[in-house]
């Protein structure tokens, strides 16, 4: 199955509740665990493209503390392990910064920053970049608009975000 990245919007009030009691994170992320594997409303899934997208965005950001670098693996850890480490949270102001930064990245800019050799050397998950070349890039550009859309919508509502790997 592999490691996938999930992003869910969270109202500022709910985010404050989760920060006050991180033990509630699991029930927030998996509200209907007994009835199936339902995610919170508005959750998006980047499948296994998350690490490749992160790598490309960090190359564009040129600064580990820039909003683009926070789009996939940013925020502060909060709560227990959700699969592959604790979830990470971004405050509404951080979501707004990431959304604005992502809006400035065109698909052409994103594609131009795709470097399969550097991704292979950095062991970016999943290790398909050199082998699949253009198809690997197509995989990333298929999911990149999902990430942009997620942040755009969360920012327009004044929401924070919870990011996790499972």
pLDDT in tens, 13-68: 999 999 999 999 999 998 875 555 567 889 999 999 999 999 999 999 987 779 99
Structural domain count of the chain? 1
* Residue 94 in domain: yes
Q: Is residue 28 assigned to a domain?
A: no
Burial 65-95 (b: 16+ CB within 10 A, else e): ebbbbbbbbbbeebbeebeeebbbbbbbebb
Residue 157 lies inside a defined structural domain of this protein: yes
**CA atoms within 13 Å, Cβ hemisphere of 75:** 26
For residue 137, tell me if it sits in a domain: yes
pLDDT reported for residue 63: 79
119 or 64, which is more confident?
119
CATH number at 153 reads 3.40.1760.10
Burial of 41 (0-12, 13-18, 19+ CB in 10 A): exposed
User: Domain span at residue 102?
Assistant: 5-20+43-165
Per the domain annotation, does 56 fall within a domain? yes
Question: Does 36 fall in a domain?
Answer: no
Q: Lowest-pLDDT range, 40-44, 75-79, 114-118?
A: 40-44
Residue 81 pLDDT:
94
pLDDT digits (tens, 9 = 90+) for 136-152: 999 999 999 999 999 99
Task: Single out the residue of 161, 133, 166, 132 nearest to residue 147, CA to CA.
Answer: 161
Residue 26 lies in a domain: no
Q: Tokens 């050199």 appear where?
A: 130
CA 142 to chain centre: 14
**Does residue 67 contact residue 100 with C-beta atoms inside 8 Å?**
yes
Q: How much is the pLDDT for 33? A: 53
Does residue 115 fall inside a structural domain? yes
Max CA pair span of the chain: 46
H-only helix segments in the chain: 12-20, 25-29, 50-61, 67-73, 92-103, 107-112, 116-121, 129-132, 134-157
Kindly report the pTM of this predicted structure. 0.93
Mean pLDDT (the chain, rounded): 94
């Amino acid at each position: 199955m592999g490691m996938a990245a999930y992003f869910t919007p969270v109202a500022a009030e709910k985010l404050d509740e989760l920060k006050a009691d991180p033990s509630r994170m699991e029930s927030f992320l998996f509200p209907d665990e007994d009835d199936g594997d339902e995610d919170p409303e508005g959750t998006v899934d980047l499948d296994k493209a998350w690490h490749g997208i992160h790598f490309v965005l960090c190359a564009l950001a040129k600064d580990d503390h820039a909003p683009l670098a926070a789009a996939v693996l940013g925020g502060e850890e909060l709560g227990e392990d959700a699969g592959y480490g604790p979830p990470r949270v971004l405050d509404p102001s951080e979501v707004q910064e990431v959304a604005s930064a992502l809006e400035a990245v065109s698909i052409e800019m994103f594609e131009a920053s795709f470097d399969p050799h550097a991704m292979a050397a950095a062991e970016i998950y999943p290790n398909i970049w050199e082998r699949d070349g253009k198809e690997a890039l197509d995989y990333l550009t298929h999911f990149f608009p999902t990430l942009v859309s997620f942040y755009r919508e969360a920012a327009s509502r004044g929401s924070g975000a919870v990011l996790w790997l499972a």
